[in-house]
Amino acid sequence: MRGPHNIIRLVRTLATFERTGAIGVVLEAFDAPPRLRFVARVLGWPFKWLGLRGDPALPPATRALTALGPAYIKFGQILSTRPDVVGDELALQLKYLQDKLPPFPVQVAKDMIAAELAMPVDQVFSAFSDPVAAASIAQVHRATLADTGADVAVKVLRPGIEKAFRKDIDAFYFAAGVIEFLSPAARRLRPMDVVTHFDGVVQGELDLRLESAAAGEFAANTADDAGFQVPKPIWNFSGRTVLTMDWAEGMSMSDNVAIDAAGLDRNKLATRVLQLFLQHALRDGYFHADMHQGNLKVAANGDIIAFDFGIMGRLDEYTRRVYAEILFGFIRRDYRRVAEVHFEAGYVPADRDIDEFARALRVVGEPIFGMDATRISMARLLAYLFEVTERFGMETRTELILLQRTMVVVEGVARGLNPQINIWLDARPVVESYIKDNVGPKALLRDLQKTVLVLARFGPKLPRLVEAQLVRQSQPQPVSLKPKFWVPMVWVILGAALALSGVFLGQSL
């Protein structure tokens, strides 16, 4: 499917932005250079008639993105959380994309539920409302369970959403291939891998059974987190296209007027949003990766309620330590250590100058410290950071895409509550706590214990492995200058492992 026909889709994208008047708004919001503005208008104007019309009642950018489809809407949702990048006016317009998209008919939702659960809707729910929220992939209804009388939220996928996403992502693959072919310098950004990663994430979001599992795991991980709630899924009334969960009552995280009227401290809420995200990413290695305002509520008691678990991120233990050390280095303004961590993790090619890289990182970090947060241009910082990655040949790390994207979104949510927030200062306690427990002697002892347990588990197999190796070595072999002292070393390692296990297994780390 990734053929030249996608050229038409990409031309239509540009033509849609031209026809709806969004192209000028977007270029202005991003402060695009004159040359780029000229090229965009020249390429878009001749094909304006090919563009989609969209809903004339909507603002230009929102009109264009909703007309183009769900993948574009997802992109708009991310931008809606960053007024410091796209400007207050455009960010406000794009908030429409979070949960106020046109719903599909209630009867269609009921038919889909009946087909998925193999029973009439009236038999499952004694009450079923009109849509209370509609987003790019699904819409939500409030309902009452017939057997228990409990209020629940019922999420139903949009009809034909899989096909619509497939078309968009197919065009993205084509565009990524064209970029890699025409611009060898852009290959370090691995556009094809990025689209592949996005494709995998979306496919998981289109199966609500996976979201049910994610909600259950996330709820278990965060059960003891003060001021945080996760509605639990109701498995027997959920399936691939339908998800039933506990109802969560609260104000929208974007409704500052309602939050203020409830007497809640928005500054504390902003700090808690940021710190909870970091705790989940660093402590659990499992975090909500779609934390825009449309997926967050504030309960009357001030608790933050998260929902919509279609996009979740995972980090292995090593990556979490690297990420924490990078954050901690920025917090301490130790740019040399930040540079060293990048080199140690292989994020920067070893042939580059570490001192030059540290100096470039200082330019990224220093504007954040000692300055009013409202005066920091995040767009300018991101642009410079992109220049740094290009200059030092850094490749895109697909395993960090969700983490980086979510960090940007969460910061945008926090700034929406408290424009004065400084993410580095609020992140410090969480990162310091993680560093204390996971980087240093305490962590080394835990790592040794795990190594010992693995060696002990394979202990019964070692004699046979060694015997087989000795038999192979007794046979005629080609002349080799490599020493063969490693076989006896297996027994030394095993002995040391067993000795250490007696020490470590008797301790409480």
* Residue keyed to tokens 């500054």: 267
CA of 72: how far to CAs of 69, 164, 382, 422, 502, in Å? 6, 11, 21, 30, 57
233 DSSP 8-state letter: B
Residues in the chain: 509
Helix (H) or strand (E) holding 251, with range, is strand 251-252
| Cβ atoms of 64 and 78 closer than 8 Å | no
Helix (H) or strand (E) holding 223, with range, is none
The angle formed by the CA atoms of residues 345, 349 and 351, to the nearest 5 degrees, is 125
190: left (phi over 0), alpha (psi -120 to 50) or beta: left
Where would I find the beta strands (DSSP E) of 124-200?
125-134, 138-145, 151-157
- 290 is annotated as an active-site residue: yes
The C-alpha atoms of residue 258 and residue 264 are separated, in whole angstroms, by 9
Question: How many other CB atoms are there within 10 angstroms of residue 37's CB atom?
Answer: 16
CA of 235: how far to CAs of 153, 210, 232, in Å? 13, 11, 9
The C-alpha atoms of residue 161 and residue 172 are separated, in whole angstroms, by 17
Which of the residues 84, 99, 225, 290 is marked catalytic? 290
For residue 194, what are its two tokens? Answer: 């990025």
Minimal CA–CA distance to 362: which of 391, 390, 333?
333
- Residue 53 backbone phi and psi in degrees, to 5: -80, -40
| Cβ atoms of 20 and 51 closer than 8 Å | yes
Residue 444, helix vs strand vs coil: helix
For residue 447, what are its two tokens? Answer: 């790592």
User: Burial level of 284, CB count in 10 A (0-12/13-18/19+)?
Assistant: middle
Minimal CA–CA distance to 273: which of 420, 94, 79, 412?
412
List, in order, residues 6 or more apart from 95 with CB less than 8 Å away. 80, 254, 293, 294
Question: How many other CB atoms are there within 10 angstroms of residue 503's CB atom?
Answer: 12
For residue 399, what are its two tokens? Answer: 């395993």
- Residue 213 backbone phi and psi in degrees, to 5: -65, -40
| Cβ atoms of 244 and 209 closer than 8 Å | no
The C-alpha atoms of residue 96 and residue 93 are separated, in whole angstroms, by 6
Q: How far is CA 470 from the centre of its chain?
A: 50
Q: Which residues are catalytic?
A: 290
